Structure 1
């Protein structure tokens, strides 16, 4: 299958150029940039004012802290169930934001919030990306998705030029307890390791690598029990965080040892580091705030209310969410961003990671 120097016959149309990498911005992009800059300048004083009488401890419980939305993406049919990122280290402002519509497949958005590609396929309840994967000596970003209806893991290759998505020739992954979700554990030279959540209280670690065969090689590394059946997961520095609407949040080592838990009925979660403090951000899918937890102890922290920005309504009901510290360019996104699906409006909305950090650490 992999016959050419670049890619196999399935990928032959992938060798595209990028002649307009630094070309003029569209009017829409220029407006989005200006709006982002104004939103950033407007939200700083607001964040400080809402917390000026609160403790300097960013994890101390209290009333919701307001955080201004930066931008909203185009509304698309089917909404979004899970969110992910595919940054571009060579051209940060050309990075992609991913989502999995409830009616199946993968949507790829640019930073102007425009839908670039909708790749038809099965309904996915989890996304994991390997932005720097090297396939046959060429950089070819990969996406993996949890197809719960068929209890399978699907793989996709992304051609950045034109935002093309191609089905990946992937060996059969057959977890013992089915598939309910997944997340990336680590990415190395020519391989990735995924955490695959079972339909019961179990997780497995699978390695996917390019061994030079027609299909990418897959191997089960280990499996371990979970405190409760989990539906979403995220990782940070080898630790695994799981979300169970019935059982709550859990933090486990990469070997499966339970390190901490919390009773919050999380439906969605993401993990990041902000000014040296690691936080879990979680939603229950029906509330109007994003909840924060200390990433080590899972002790509950502040609630965050994402409010209206410049010409952009806030988030009414935060659902699927993901945070990244990858450089996405422009002034607003150079230190990363938070993407949140607003179940109330059916749209993806984004917040500059700088705004998020200032909201959490407003008095420091």
Structure 2
């Protein structure tokens, strides 16, 4: 557990003895000038009659100083710095956030009359509000909200509610609002939260906990739910009395301590936030709202004083230093997804693709449920079969196995209940799957499995265990029963799982979760010397999970699940294993399919399965099912989209 996170949890429990104070370091707009802020009453505020006022981004104003406001009496307003109204959306509104969207502005607020979060587009140059998009009324009071845009230009709205309730909603794509909003996920937030802000470039969500401190959460819809402290109340941080409203700028955060009438500045450094300065606001008794806009001299500032009702404006001679961000990976969207598996928690694991020999559209995707058994889906993700044979982990398929004089296709799976290899016969005409026996292994904890067809004929299975052991079995029909003969052993130094055999090259590719991907001769009499294919590092992030092989007529690619950063690495399957790139499976807002993350197993085929799978299909396990949140499932992606994203042949 992160030490800062552990420290702040103890603070929340009032048992913080021995935790370190949040560090302080000077950083800012000018290294030679201490940060300072100069504020004075904004005379036009009384004309606007609003508590929450925000700047319109400079790129939309053609040099003018334009602002928006939420007013309980007058609605949502666009006006200039003199308080002259330029456009109005009538209603009773409070709190604000906005994002530039092309040549327009998307504004989020709370409709106090209906208690609904509301979004509306604003044509700034045309001085016209668009038709509002209302989120469904919640069963809790929404205290605050903020907008966030991901690297794929999807727009999300975070809701902050009473008693630690929070939600993330998909509300727009590109420069447009969607016709309806769709909830992506629920978030457990602090019980005293009222304000939030998002840093799009860093994919971070900042939330206050009034009597404790400021928190940073991952904002990406596929991210795990976790948090780190930005600052805590004294004596464990620099906040004297309370954590209040915030304003986020790339590389940093500004926050109000409204009870102490102070403005706090923070610079991001890796996963920590350095306290730059605590600036007194002596003319304000209870600073409640905060807005900033970068300019040549630092940051232009707006602060609302709740005690007097006055809005103050001025200049802060500081800007945070931009931080380096992770390169944006290409993103593809799934066109289909399977029905959720029938068990909670970490259940779905590994897929395989069975290709129908004469009618490709009747092909099936097999998937393991490691709390249940083997599942079979059609190409639209509908569950067709469920075989409750035990805790299956990985699965693989090969065609044309002669069993008792009948040609079948064979699926094998690693069975963690019995540390065995479970066997399944697939009828080549109907696709129906039936149990076909079991092969015991001496493995203490069986884990991964894959099949191999050598040039000399026959069929082999590789099974591995968590201790690094690999066992190779020759599969054969003995009087109508499939038996396995152990023909070879070798090992890697630490835990493996995913593997795939290249029948053309007679090579086995295997993953060592914390180390990387190796190649080894797949033949039973071959050498067991390992050759490094790709090591864990800047591109491939542990854990190394599923490995699959895409084989066209003249080109082959390895596809690897890089679980540590929710991505998929693609490289040539022949030495020197040239890297072709990495990508993510993002959400498909139009079809209501969420992205994929924390992927265990994956599979790919180059077979033409009909539209939209003419160039094949990539199937990935989704470890965090969102939109709606339910049990895990598998996502189907056209290989044509992968090839387009990475400019493959």
TM bin (shorter chain): 0.7 to 0.9
1:285 equivalent to 2:563? Answer: yes
- Specify the alignment match of 1:321 in structure 2: 602
1:145 equivalent to 2:413? Answer: yes
1:332 equivalent to 2:612? Answer: yes
1:207 equivalent to 2:440? Answer: no
Query: Over aligned residue pairs, what C-alpha RMSD do you find?
Result: 2.8
How do 1:41-52 and structure 2 match up within 5 A? Answer: none
Match of 1:193 among 460, 478, 493: 460
Indicate conservation of the 8 Å contact 2:424/2:435, yes or no. Answer: yes
- Specify the alignment match of 1:302 in structure 2: 581
Q: Distance in 2 between matches of 1:190 and 1:280?
A: 24
**Counting strand residues as a fraction of each chain, which structure ranks higher?**
2
- Specify the alignment match of 1:73 in structure 2: 338
Indicate conservation of the 8 Å contact 1:134/1:190, yes or no. Answer: no
Q: Distance in 2 between matches of 1:282 and 1:318?
A: 13
- Specify the alignment match of 2:529 in structure 1: 257
**What is the DSSP-based 3-state SS (H/G/I as helix, E as strand, rest coil) of the residue aligned with 1:359?**
helix
Q: Give the Å deviation of 1:160.
A: 5.6
Largest Rg, 1 or 2: 2
Match of 2:441 among 147, 169, 174: 174
Can you list the C-alpha shifts for 1:196-237, whole angstroms capped at 9, x where unaligned?
A: 1133222121111113x1522321122223243311211223
After TM superposition, the structure 1 stretch with the greater mean CA deviation from structure 2, 248-257 or 154-163, is 154-163
1:220 equivalent to 2:455? Answer: no
- Specify the alignment match of 2:640 in structure 1: 354
**What is the DSSP-based 3-state SS (H/G/I as helix, E as strand, rest coil) of the residue aligned with 1:282?**
strand
Can you list the C-alpha shifts for 1:43-62, whole angstroms capped at 9, x where unaligned?
A: xxx9xxxxxxxxxxxxxx96
Indicate conservation of the 8 Å contact 1:62/1:303, yes or no. Answer: no
Q: Cα distance 1:343–1:229, how it changes in 2: closer, same or farther (>3 A)?
A: closer
After TM superposition, the structure 1 stretch with the greater mean CA deviation from structure 2, 347-356 or 155-164, is 155-164
- Specify the alignment match of 1:54 in structure 2: none
Number of residue pairs matched by the alignment? 301
1:84 equivalent to 2:352? Answer: yes
Indicate conservation of the 8 Å contact 1:337/1:352, yes or no. Answer: yes
**What is the DSSP-based 3-state SS (H/G/I as helix, E as strand, rest coil) of the residue aligned with 2:496?**
coil
Q: Distance in 1 between matches of 2:455 and 2:426?
A: 18
Q: Cα distance 1:136–1:335, how it changes in 2: closer, same or farther (>3 A)?
A: farther
**What is the DSSP-based 3-state SS (H/G/I as helix, E as strand, rest coil) of the residue aligned with 2:460?**
strand
Q: Cα distance 1:297–1:141, how it changes in 2: closer, same or farther (>3 A)?
A: same
Q: Give the Å deviation of 1:284.
A: 3.8
Q: Give the Å deviation of 1:162.
A: 6.1
Q: Cα distance 1:123–1:298, how it changes in 2: closer, same or farther (>3 A)?
A: farther
Indicate conservation of the 8 Å contact 1:202/1:223, yes or no. Answer: yes
Indicate conservation of the 8 Å contact 2:395/2:411, yes or no. Answer: yes
Can you list the C-alpha shifts for 1:244-281, whole angstroms capped at 9, x where unaligned?
A: 22232222222322121412420222222468453322
- Specify the alignment match of 2:36 in structure 1: none
Q: Give the Å deviation of 1:124.
A: 1.2
- Specify the alignment match of 2:328 in structure 1: 63
Q: Cα distance 1:201–1:316, how it changes in 2: closer, same or farther (>3 A)?
A: closer
Q: Give the Å deviation of 1:297.
A: 4.2
- Specify the alignment match of 2:498 in structure 1: 232
TM-score (norm 2): 0.43
- Specify the alignment match of 1:53 in structure 2: none
Can you list the C-alpha shifts for 1:119-172, whole angstroms capped at 9, x where unaligned?
A: 1111111112123222233222221111123211111122366654322135x4
